[in-house]
Amino acid sequence: MVLDSLGSALRATLRKIAGASHISPELIKELVRDIQRALLQADVNVKLALELSKRIESRALDEKAPAGMTAREHVVRIVHSEMVGALGKPRDLKPRAQKIMLVGLYGQGKTTTAGKLAKWFQRKGLSVGLTGADVHRPAAFEQLSQLATQLNVPVAGGGSDAVAAANAGLKAHADLKVQIYDTAGRHALDTDLIDEMKAVAKVIQPDEILLVLDATVGQQAGPQAAAFHEAVGVTGVVLTKLDGSAKGGGALSAVAETQAPVMFVGTGEMLDALERLEPDRFISRLLGMGDLQSLLERAEEVMDADKAEETAKRLLSGKFSLVEMREQMEALAQMGPLGKVMEMIPGMASMMKGNQADVTQKKLERFKVLMNSMTPEEMENPKLIKRSRLQRIAAGAGADVQEVRELLAYYNKSRKMMSSLGGNRRMQKQLMRQMERGELKL
């Protein structure tokens, strides 16, 4: 999880409130001290951590809970509200036709981010072209070309002249909706780099200039963002390596203080490990409150609406075979790593201990291999799978018979759960009506 240690500390702190018999001033002061400690350990600036914790304490002690809200819920809402405010105002990158230029120092992850952005726009249904205008780093164009091959998108540029490479990209990708330009970096923001960025920008006329920053630089992200903004006028920031950085909180808060909007955060090595930073949703997930809106959006990107509705109706009518279960597994896999999906479900982040999400994901992938060894008849009617079939399926998948039994046990458990839902006629009718009216999106 992004900022895992900070999120774990904050969730543990909020659990103290949930378990308390009443909210006392002493409990609030303890809560504030814990939050302050968690922020400082995440490398958040001392001044900001103190100001944030003082605002939380003042509001929690002085404000009365609104009608219909308990004191516990009110304190949690204050913590959420103040942390959202600390991240600054969000700015959205619209999924529309545009030219995007990436800038930044060496080793910040610009080329990988170019590929991730291309993947993000692909998910939105837009055609994308990549251009390599980093003509100084050895193998930069080769790396970008490999990413383009993985994504099945065209690539242009390369050579020894950055302006010529940018012009090549403009011509090659003229008919594409989104054009992404990867530019060179330096070890420091020097005159040569500024001049080259300005020359390339003059040719491209980008709609967006995104600064790519490595979150491991911590609080130094702020001065870097300010310097680049002064030099070329960045329109947004992409923070990379936020998942594995103990300094992630420092980078995130430092950039926010410069008023440079953080538009995306990198959350892993894979091409789909890029997320829009929406402070409200981000903090909700950090506090274990989930992010159902992002979950729905991700589901809509990977699932065919008509097919999803048809599957849901079959499930609710009591028909549930291994075919439906595999369809749901495949849809879940397309939504990204299981751990990141679980973060979006309220309360799940605290339930998934250690590497439990990774273990579960590997088990589901193993289940799919086992199902690929089954016949269509067995998939539709798992009751047919007895001893001889168990042995054949296991042998075909290079597995043990016990693994097949484990899959069937998982299926039976899932089927019983769906059957109990299907047996609740009132709930079933309500869900069916919502689907028919288009109120329930899957």
List per-block mean pLDDT (blocks of 10 residues) for the chain, which spans 442 residues. Answer: 73 78 86 90 88 91 83 85 84 90 93 95 94 92 95 93 95 96 91 93 95 90 90 91 78 83 87 86 74 51 57 58 77 61 52 62 84 90 89 90 89 71 50 43 37
Amino acid at position 13, single letter: T
Residues 296, 441: contact at Cβ < 8 Å? yes
Question: How is residue 304 annotated by DSSP?
Answer: -
CATH placement of domain 98-287? 3.40.50.300
- DSSP of 82-131, one letter per residue? HHHHHT-------SSSEEEEEE--TTS-HHHHHHHHHHHHHHTT--EEEE
- Rounded to the nearest angstrom, the gap between the alpha carbon of residue 278 and the centroid of all alpha carbons in its chain is 11
How many Cα atoms sit within 13 Å of 216 on the Cβ side? 8
* Locus of tokens 């729905």: 296
Report the alpha-carbon distance of residue 151 to residue 236 in Å, rounded: 24
Closest CA to 156 of 131, 193, 181, 121: 131
Report the alpha-carbon distance of residue 80 to residue 103 in Å, rounded: 32
Report the alpha-carbon distance of residue 233 to residue 208 in Å, rounded: 10
Q: Residue 290 has what pLDDT? A: 54
pTM: 0.67
Amino acid at position 346, single letter: P
409 Cβ contact partners less than 8 Å away, ≥ 6 residues apart: none
Q: Residue 304 has what pLDDT? A: 59
Say yes or no: domain 4-86 is CATH 1.25.40.390.
Answer: no
Closest CA to 323 of 393, 415, 420: 415
CATH placement of domain 293-437? 1.10.260.30
Total number of residues shown for the chain: 442
Neighbouring-strand partners of residue 103: 211
Question: How is residue 290 annotated by DSSP?
Answer: -
Domain range summary for the chain, segments of one domain joined by +: 4-86, 98-287, 293-437
Helices and strands of the chain, counted as H and E runs: 21, 8
